Structure 1
Amino acid sequence: MRILVAGRQGQVAQALLRRFAGHEVVALEPPELDLTEDSSVARAMRAAAPELVVNAAAYTAVDRAEDQEALAFAVNRDGAARLAAAAAAIGAPFVHFSTDYVFDGRKGAPYLETDAPSPLGVYGRSKAEGEGAVLAANPRSVVLRTAWVCSADGANFVKTMLRLAAEREELRVVADQHGAPTFAADLAEAVAAMAPRLLAAPAGDAAFGLFHLTGAPHTTWHGFTAEILDQAAQRGHKRPRLAAIATTDYPTRAARPADGRLDCSHIRRVHGIQPADWRRSLALCLDALVGPAGENGL
């Protein structure tokens, strides 16, 4: 299979490269592929001639987006649509990643794909509009909404907590924001599971459209941190005290959804994909970062 991945250094892009090792994969980022330039996208598409296009590139600086609105929309909406349209022009299906930040977190229950977006900030708005733009530009598109993405690559919550745990005697972590950690390897596995059907299915097939996919079970940032610290301690790492704080105790430039839980039953019904247990995925991530449990423990 020939695959073009937009993005190369990001967590999902790296996971895709590992999962599709043995296939003909081209992963590009600026300057080779600039989603804000028509000519750059066209050149990359001609050169790669892909059978499947996966957009793992995005503007993800949630707080900075409040001051860089034009850039966020240029990448997350216009760039995503540009890439989707270029894939459509050569008859390639398109996979695009979105976020729980398209919701305001006030529903009080896990969000369905049919719930209307209600983003709180610029990042969420740019991603919400990007979803619609992608689906309009290429009817053979899958938009995967996910959340709290982590891996052994790049900068993410797991690596931040490991660093802070080594430096501090106490960690204070928000306990009133609800969601689910999702590991990049599990997202890459989902793309691989869907790919054969996407390649064969015509526009209008149920395989395409909007889907939710996160890890399971739901938790809070505090609960996620507790599991990180417990599993790291099994690998010989110091375990600091963990204190629960409220969102109001940790102000940020952009508001976060207080409850971004996503209902993932639709992708299970259509594609047979079950949310992965993030605790097992975390163990694999820590194996890669610090070694297997018991190897460095007491």
Structure 2
Amino acid sequence: MNILIFGKDGQLGKAFHVLLDSLLPALVAKPNIQYVGRIECDLTNEQAITSLLSHFQPNLIINASAYTAVDKAETELDLAFAVNARSPEIMAQYAAQHGATFLHYSTDYVFDGEKYGFYLEDDIRNPLGIYGKSKAAGEEAIAKAFLSSTAKETAQYAIFRTSWVYGEGGNFIRTILRLAKEREDLKVIHDQFGVPTSAHWLAQVSLNLAVDDSIRLRRFASGIYHAVPTGETTWFGLASLAVQAALDAGATLKANPGAIKPIQAVEYPLPAPRPMNSRMSSDKLRLALARSEADHSNSYNEVARIIEFPGWEAMVREYVSKLARDKLI
């Protein structure tokens, strides 16, 4: 089994590295894993991607790479589309032609945020900015590549839409905690809704769908899956909980949750528009995971039980506590 992981230096790529390293010692047949970053492969170079795929011949391709500079994308359109649309298209075409499994990650920014309630996978895409448009184009290109697959019996793909990711690296939570150490009061947007998602949890859920405990490929229904924990919050709610969790873990901060002032998004203008509602339903993914478990255990009664995902609050608290233990706050 050959596993090729793009985006090794990002939060999700690092999470995959940690997760797979923890699983390898217990495996009898160990997969051949290659982690790829910008140094190893320039994702704007189509020939470099094609050559790497042809040389390594992966059975499982995990594309954890992305152009995520939401505001810079407004002036770097070509770069955003090269990384977020064209490079995953090339990966998908290889997987479709060679019977491989392809895992790709997309975003809540493919929606305009005007829906009331939680978005479903088949809701119409209507991205507001260049970043979201480039990710939406990537989704469409992947689906098209597999429609014309020459290896339909084994080729499969999953596009995991997620939101507000945090892990090892720069993210909103770490920015808020840094500012809380420097300032006595903060202003944070309270009218944009979404779900914070742990990169480690996202990597684990992805693998649970794609492979079994021995890291052998599973069959699943190709398509888009929303991958977020349960619950919802705002940037203000996330900031308040993160600061309180840091204080509970013994961190020394100048600001406390009471010193965080909620503001409207219009009071904090940015170059790129953001969806006001990024809430997504994960029912489809939870049902797919339940079916996978049932197939694995030959207990089809399990299909009726949708797996419960953890709430975002507990995972954020655990993440902040670890930052405090590691002296990163």
Q: Same fold (TM over 0.5)?
A: yes
For residues 119-158 of structure 1, what are the alpha-carbon distances to aligned partners after superposition, in whole Å with 9 as ceiling and x for unaligned?
Answer: 111111110111010122235110000000001x111011
2:317 is matched with which residue: 283, 292, 296? 283
Match of residue 191, structure 2, among 153, 176, 180: 176
* 8 Å Cα contact 2:209/2:218 also seen in 1: no
Letter in 2 for 1:277: G
CA distance in 2, matches of 1:190, 1:125: 26
Name the CA distance, whole Å, in 1 between partners of 2:186 and 2:76. 31
3-state SS of 2:211 partner: helix
Matches within 5 A, 1:194-233: 194-196=209-211, 199-201=217-219, 207-233=221-247
CA distance in 2, matches of 1:191, 1:159: 24
Tell me which of 275, 284, 291 is aligned to 1:257.
275
Partner-residue secondary structure (3-state), 1:255 = coil
User: Structure 2 counterpart of 1:214, which letter?
Assistant: V
Encode CA deviations 1:72-100: one digit per residue, 9 max, x unaligned: 11111111101111223332110000000
CA contact 1:98–1:146 (8 Å) conserved in 2 = yes
CA deviation profile, 1:16-49 (whole Å, cap 9, x unmatched): 1111112432110223222222321122223332
Amino acid at match of 1:147: S
Q: Distance in 1 between matches of 2:138 and 2:199?
A: 21
Larger radius of gyration between Structure 1 and Structure 2: 2
* Cα displacement (A) at 1:230: 0.9
Shift of 1:200: 4.1
- Equivalent residue letter for 1:10: G
Q: Matched residues in 2 for 1:79 and 1:123: separation?
A: 15
User: Which position in structure 1 is the counterpart of 2:166?
Assistant: 150
Question: What is the DSSP-based 3-state SS (H/G/I as helix, E as strand, rest coil) of the residue aligned with 2:261?
Answer: strand
Describe the SS at the equivalent of 2:100: coil
| 1:64-213 → structure 2 map (5 Å cutoff) | 64-138=72-146, 140-151=156-167, 153-196=168-211, 199-201=217-219, 207-213=221-227
Quick check: 2:77–2:130 contact (8 Å CA) kept in 1? yes
Distance 2:174 2:141 in 1: 33
Distance in 1, matches of 2:176 and 2:310, equals 21
TM-score, normalised to structure 2, is 0.83
Taking every aligned residue pair, what percent have the same amino acid on both sides?
A: 38
Q: Which amino acid aligns with 1:225?
A: A
Between 23-32 and 56-65, the greater mean CA deviation after superposition:
23-32
Spell out structure 1 runs of 4+ moving beyond 4 A. none
Q: Distance in 1 between matches of 2:233 and 2:107?
A: 17
Distance 1:200 1:12 in 2: 21
Contact 2:125 2:136 in 1 (8 A): yes
5+ long unaligned stretches in structure 2: 25-30, 148-155, 291-306
Q: Across the two proteins, how many residue pairs are aligned to each other?
A: 288
Contact 1:92-1:199 within 8 A present in 2 as well: no
- Could you tell me which amino acid in structure 1 is paired with residue 318 of structure 2? L
For residues 284 and 16 of structure 1, the distance between their equivalents in structure 2, rounded to whole angstroms, comes to 18
TM-score by length of 1: 0.92
Query: In terms of mean alpha carbon deviation, does 50-59 or 22-31 score higher?
Result: 22-31
Q: Distance in 1 between matches of 2:193 and 2:121?
A: 18
C-alpha contact 2:16 2:203 (8 A) present in aligned 1: yes
